[in-house]
Amino acid sequence: MPRSHYTGLAGPSYDQPAQAGVLLVNLGTPDAPTARALRPYLAEFLGDPRVIEYPRWLWWLILHGVILRIRPARSAHAYARIWTPEGSPLRAGSEKLAAALQVKLRQLAQGPIRVRLAMRYGEPSVRKQIEQMQRDGVRRLLVLPLYPQYSGTSTGSVIDAVADTIKQLRWPPELRIVNDYHDDDGHIEALAQSIERWWAQHGRGDKLLLSFHGIPQRYVDAGDPYFHQCNATAQSLRKRLGLDESQLVLSFQSRVGREPWLHPYTDETVKRLAREGIKRLDVACPGFAVDCLETLEEIAMQNSEFFTAAGGEALRYIPALNDSDEQVGSLASLVLRHAQGWPEFLPGGKT
């Protein structure tokens, strides 16, 4: 018999009780803070044409001839600074968020609903998790990338991975994908409450900086809505917190290479604010659902050092929403809205 191009369950899979599934997808993480573990992770991440839009042959030479010979050791050092007994903060935090969302949806909806976590790069992969959900009997699938603001480099890449998996299934599930939630009222309220709670515990700094992950300016010029959505999130938070543009500012971090990325840059901004006399700078990162290398090492460590070296007294990082009640509740509401019409999501859950 010829080999099939499609994967599926052996036997009468239609006899299984139907379930709905929610697949949370985050960026990914290496398995260990070592150069050996970073090399395949970075090769997958930086090899994604959604992330680096260069001619493939040219980028392959740069990636494998230069970057993967140097960057794994540097990245391993940064990861080692934030690694915990639980392992990667991003992986552990995302797993806790998925577990809490499972509990919350069980309380709110009739079900059965199965929540799983996938990573766009590394493990558990999008493909493995969708295939496992099919084996579990999931016939209706909602994909929720944990990127509040859409970019082709992030959410767009998740959509690619989902599509590549779905098109190889013999019996694909009914599919919906959350494109973004940058201006969702519940999400903005969750961010505001998190900041206000932190201020209540630690006092309020001289200024609040929102630092978003950057992307090359040419991606925005080509039609990526990311810059607009970051500004929309910042404006909504200003309004909700009662701040003006001098009290809440935004910047963009994590740039690499020599081409222009979104301005203003975070490292330059924190140095400038320190030179201008800001002594206590509060920094939040609303583009990150869960704390990770970019928040814990780049902001709370690197940029804190930049700020104090330029004359500031303290850069105080406000943690991501992680598995807080505010985030779990806002994501549950988001899921229920996007899954309207599916019987598993009708009200009437179990406590």
pLDDT per residue over 72-120, tens digit each?
A: 999 999 999 999 999 999 999 999 999 999 999 999 999 999 999 999 9
| pLDDT at residue 18, as a whole number | 86
Provide Rg for the chain, Cα atoms.
Answer: 21
Identify the weakest region by mean pLDDT among 13-17, 56-60, 72-76, 314-318: 13-17
Q: Which two tokens stand for residue 74?
A: 């540097």
Instruction: Tell me the residue type at 158.
Output: V
**295 and 145 Cβ atoms separated by less than 8 Å:** no
What is the arithmetic mean of pLDDT over 319-332?
Answer: 98
- Whether the predicted pLDDT of 289 surpasses 90: yes
Q: Is 222 helix (H, G, I), strand (E, B) or coil?
A: coil
Nearest partner of 337 among 167, 186, 194, judged by Cα: 186
First to last CA, the chain: 50
The pLDDT, as a whole number, for residue 1 is: 57
Instruction: Assess whether pLDDT exceeds 60 at residue 13.
Output: no
Average pLDDT score, the chain: 95
Q: Rounded to whole angstroms, how far apart are CA atoms 109 and 351?
A: 10
Q: Where are the domains of the chain?
A: 18-181+326-345, 185-317
Closest CA to 157 of 42, 255, 55, 48: 48
Report which DSSP code applies to 171. Answer: S
pLDDT in tens, 271-285: 999 999 999 999 999
Confirm or deny that 294 is annotated as ligand binding. yes
The domain defined by 185-317 folds into: Rossmann fold (3.40.50)
Please, which pLDDT band fits residue 253 given cuts at 50, 70 and 90?
very high
Mean pLDDT, rounded, for 316-334: 98
CA-CA distance, 80 to 86, in Å (whole number)?
Answer: 13
Handedness of CA 293, 296, 300, 301 (dihedral sign): negative
Whether pLDDT at 351 is above 60 = no
Strand ranges, E, within 223-292: 248-253, 280-284
62 CB neighbour count, 10 Å cutoff: 14
Q: Is residue 14 pLDDT above 70, yes or no? A: no
φ, ψ dihedrals at 250, nearest 5°: -130, 160
Integer angstrom CA distances of residue 133 from 163, 164, 172? 15, 16, 11
Torsion sign over Cα 21, 50, 92, 96: negative
Single-letter residue type at 249 = V
Measured CA to CA in angstroms, residue 29 lies from 91, 154, 176, 225 at distances of 7, 14, 25, 26
Considering the chain, what percentage of its residues have pLDDT values greater than 70?
97
CATH 3.40.50.1400 fits 18-181+326-345, yes or no: yes
Which candidate, 329, 351, 349, places its Cα nearest to that of 111? 349
pLDDT tens string 146-188? 999 999 999 999 999 999 999 999 999 999 999 999 999 999 9
189-245 residue pLDDT tens = 999 999 999 999 999 999 999 999 999 999 999 999 999 999 999 999 999 999 999
Residue 60 to residue 46: CA distance in whole angstroms? 10
Hey, do 18-181+326-345 and 185-317 end up sharing a CATH topology, with the first three levels equal? Answer: yes
CA distances (Å), origin 151, targets 31, 56, 146, 193: 26, 20, 12, 26
pLDDT at position 15 is 64
Q: What is the pTM of this model?
A: 0.95
User: Is 187 annotated as contributing to ligand binding?
Assistant: no
pLDDT value at 305 more than 80? yes
Tokens of residue 6, six digits: 């499609």
The pLDDT, as a whole number, for residue 257 is 86
pLDDT of residue 148: 98
